[in-house]
Amino acid sequence: MTANAVSGRTGVFALLGSPVGHSLSPAIHNASFAQLGLDYVYLCHDVEADGIGEAVAGARALGYAGLNVTMPCKAAVVDHLDALSPAAELMGAVNTVECAGGRLVGHNTDGAGLLRSIAEEGFEIAGSRMVVIGAGGAGSAAFTQAALDGAARIAVFKRRDASFAAAAERVAAVSDRTGADMAFADAADRAALAAEVEAADIVVDATRAGMAPLEGVSNVEAEWMRPGQAIVDTVYHPRETKLLALAARSGARPIGGLGMLLWQAAVAEEIWLGASMPVERIRAAIEAEG
């Protein structure tokens, strides 16, 4: 991808979180800035949750143009910002910080990015029946944005662990705030999961299933899928997870996580700069590099 020339006038964006050495965000944003002719550079800073306040204060003092935030800092950063978007407030997590006239405004583009990646495959969110497996950062972003965008029904499944009750409360809060028809259940209830998947238009797996060391795991059985469904995996490495392979064989539409990654970055650039990222050109470059 094209490298940007850096000068004394170059604006700075950065990703805060840990670890960040593996992130594709610098490649995506720096390629976008170069292709759009924008004098910015995108960096990564390794920051733990207990250091996020100092990092944000430093970025504010240094006049950074904007920030992205990743794990483990998405929730911790909230207390160090001046305002939150409606989606970020509902999610209780921020992945994008807008520097607007000295004020730091937190947004969450994960959900919008995911739903755009689904929409570009021809699926309407408004009026759809959706299943979301997982209620962590990606899952919460998915069901919150889907509720905001008018999904007819959203069934959320999560494994029963220490955060189960808190996740149930978040689902209920999103339902109350948006009026969306939402259900929450234990992912171990396979009969309930099967019934919801079979009736769904869009199924989103927002867990680590499919990633190393869980490459051979799919939370959804092939016999639950049907032609015409969108089967979405938020994992982007590997490109084809077991879930997506099963979807392809079942006649469903498999949608991988790279589109979510690209579109959440594109939405962030819209917020920061009012610019339209050349998503397809950057997708092609990333896929060419493997």
135 DSSP assignment: -
Token pair belonging to 183: 């259900």
Q: Is 236 helix (H, G, I), strand (E, B) or coil?
A: coil
Is residue 74 among the annotated active site residues? yes
49 DSSP assignment: G
Q: Is 200 helix (H, G, I), strand (E, B) or coil?
A: coil
CB 254 within 8 A of CB 244: yes
Please give the Cα distance from 238 to 219 (Å, whole number): 16
Please give the Cα distance from 102 to 82 (Å, whole number): 10
Q: Which of 74, 107, 170, 253 is catalytic?
A: 74
Tell me if the bond preceding 254 is cis, omega within 30° of 0.
Answer: no
Please give the Cα distance from 12 to 62 (Å, whole number): 9
Q: How many CB atoms lie within 10 A of CB 234?
A: 31
CB 3 within 8 A of CB 42: no
Please give the Cα distance from 132 to 171 (Å, whole number): 11
Phi, psi (rounded to 5 degrees) for 127: 80, 0
Q: Is 67 helix (H, G, I), strand (E, B) or coil?
A: strand
Q: How far apart are the first and last CA of the chain?
A: 12
The catalytic residue positions are 74
